[in-house]
A and B are shown apart, each in its own frame.
Chain A
Amino acid sequence: MPRSLRVLITYILLILLALFMMGPFLWLLSVSLMPGRNVFANPPAILPTFIALDNYVQVWNFMNFPRYILNTVIITLLGVVFNIILSCLTAYPLAAFRFKGRSLVFTLLISTMIIPSATAMIVHYLTIQAFQLGNTFFGVVLPAAVSVFNIFLMRQTFLGIPADIRDSGKMDGASELRIFIQLVMPLVKPGIAVIGLLEVMAFWNNFLWPIVVLDDPEKYPLAAALTYLNGQFSYNFGWIAAGTMISVLPIILVFLFTQKYYMEGIAGAIKG
């Protein structure tokens, strides 16, 4: 087969797949831009015949979006900061130190990956209530404040740092904590970016746990608020479509601007 024909077939397949993967989002965008149109009209409206932002304006005025966006941002920031600090602190000794119990910690961590606990959410609920953190953002964030996956990812990153760095710090009489903060951490910024991005996505999109923990819908993050909107106005498709676009656009933009790190990180997670 000549090369040019092969390239042509590749492009055709790539475009068909792109339609399959992106089509539903483009259609959502199209519905959100057509006020007063029913998505179940016959034949269904696929391409916008006219474009107006009425749905966006109305749903923005109806729902307290600034509030939900602020909630989401707070939850996401808390979650990301906890995850970065805790997984770096935990992973660093596992990569750089030699100490008794190292393999014990490792085995414990791995065992949690093998045994997924279906009861976890129920016990988390009881724990959060016992700590009196029900209906708080901390209650939303703490159960996912550190993950074994992130610890492994950071451990891989720390393993790539030469031991000389720590030794030279010690020669100068720096404490372990100072070596960690001033010498080691600046070298693992790419790794931190990756777990940061992974957690931004995870916390931004989380909807079920926030609903369980938060009694007050005013505290809901966007994804949870969206299920609420859908329950209230299941007939007003344009509004829900616009609301959905508002909730997914930030995360898609974050992804598009950071995809280089993100995809390398995902790949690095398995390459190790």
Chain B
Amino acid sequence: MYKGFRSESFSAWAFMAPGLLFLAVFTFWPIIYGIPLSLTDYSVITETNVVGLDNFTRAFQDHNFLISLWNSLVYVLIVPVIQIISILMAILVNSRIPGVKMFRAAYYIPVVTSMVAVALIWSWLLGNNGVVNYLLLKAGIISEQVSWLSTNSTALYVLMFITMWKGLGYYMMLYLAGLQGIPADLYEAARVDGAGPLRLIVHVTLPLLRPHILFCTLISVMGAIRVFDEVYILTKGGPGTSTLTSSVYIFQKGLEQFNFGYASALGLIVSVMVGALSVLVFRLNRKGGVNSY
């Protein structure tokens, strides 16, 4: 019996070895190696020196970095509000009416297309003479053309809109899974007690979706912190620093200016913040039902 247990242990590690090797090199190593790297001024161009905590003191005096943190924070606070629209979408596509599966697929298409394509389309739609301005002018909502992506006050919100638009279908599917797990007799019971459609949503649907809401909030918070593609393609952080998010700034410092040491320090600061944030969300989540993770 004991021998069997040992050989099972051996097989288990043998099975996992290739996968763990890859994870070690490409998932664990970046986390570990970022720490010593952040204490140096490593760049491709000049000789490498150990600079201790200089990168960190520099970071907190770096005006652009602080702005990028602020922009990321705004993203994190606003983008998860996506959940409300996604829940409504999920409720709609959960109706048992003909053709509803077609709508589900249609709403999901932005999720599967590349951010490059999505960003291109929206950059045209949002151009000065673009369709959005045209329609809003016609409807009388705005009185003159707005340069949505090159105006300081609108650019960040426009990017958030694009992030949300692309993600709606994904969250809708997760909520749909949740909705389909709610037993029908709960609705029946509530209806017998005289509840209308709105009260059914508030008192039956939303409480039972709570684990899903928390899970989706967590992944959308993570997504909002990492947001990169749409910013990089559409504004590169501009105009000025109005859409500079932390991942874009770290990328600029690291892979565009080759300040690997400084960029690693910035990355570490953001990682610690994200770690603290996720512990917080996980704490909230513990009462929920996402126990499979």
Interface size class of A (residues with CB under 8 A): 35 or more
Asked if B114 and A205 make an inter-chain contact with CB atoms under 8 angstroms apart, the answer reads: yes
Instruction: List A214-271 residues whose CB lies under 8 Å from chain B.
Output: 223-224, 226-227, 230, 237, 240, 244, 247-248, 251-252, 255-256, 259, 263, 266-268, 270-271
Asked if B114 and A207 make an inter-chain contact with CB atoms under 8 angstroms apart, the answer reads: yes
A236 to B225, alpha carbons, bound, how many Å? 34
Closest to A159 in B: B292
Asked if A123 and B124 make an inter-chain contact with CB atoms under 8 angstroms apart, the answer reads: no
The reply on A86 being an interface residue by CB < 8 A is yes
Interface size class of B (residues with CB under 8 A): 35 or more
Count: A-B pairs, CB below 8 Å? 277
Question: Which listed residue, B11, B29, B116, touches A93 by the CB 8 Å rule?
Answer: B11
Question: Which listed residue, A100, A123, A223, A270, touches B29 by the CB 8 Å rule?
Answer: A123
Chain B CB within 10 A, most for which of A21, A86, A110, A156: A21
The reply on B149 being an interface residue by CB < 8 A is no
The reply on B125 being an interface residue by CB < 8 A is yes
The reply on A103 being an interface residue by CB < 8 A is no
- A230 partner residues in chain B, CB cutoff 8 A: 120
The reply on B70 being an interface residue by CB < 8 A is no
A139 to B4, alpha carbons, bound, how many Å? 40
The reply on B184 being an interface residue by CB < 8 A is no
Instruction: List B134-191 residues whose CB lies under 8 Å from chain A.
Output: 134, 165, 168-170, 173-174, 176-178, 180-181
Interface CB pairs A-B, < 8 A, 24: A21-B109, A21-B110, A24-B121, A25-B113, A44-B129, A86-B18, A97-B15, A105-B20, A110-B293, A117-B34, A119-B34, A123-B33, A123-B34, A146-B19, A176-B11, A205-B114, A207-B116, A223-B116, A224-B116, A237-B124, A244-B121, A255-B112, A268-B177, A272-B292
Taking A112-B23, A119-B37, A120-B31 as given, write out 12 further A-B residue pairs in contact, using a Cβ cutoff of 8 Å, ordered by the A residue number: A14-B93, A44-B130, A92-B15, A98-B5, A99-B9, A108-B28, A114-B278, A115-B31, A123-B37, A212-B255, A227-B116, A251-B112
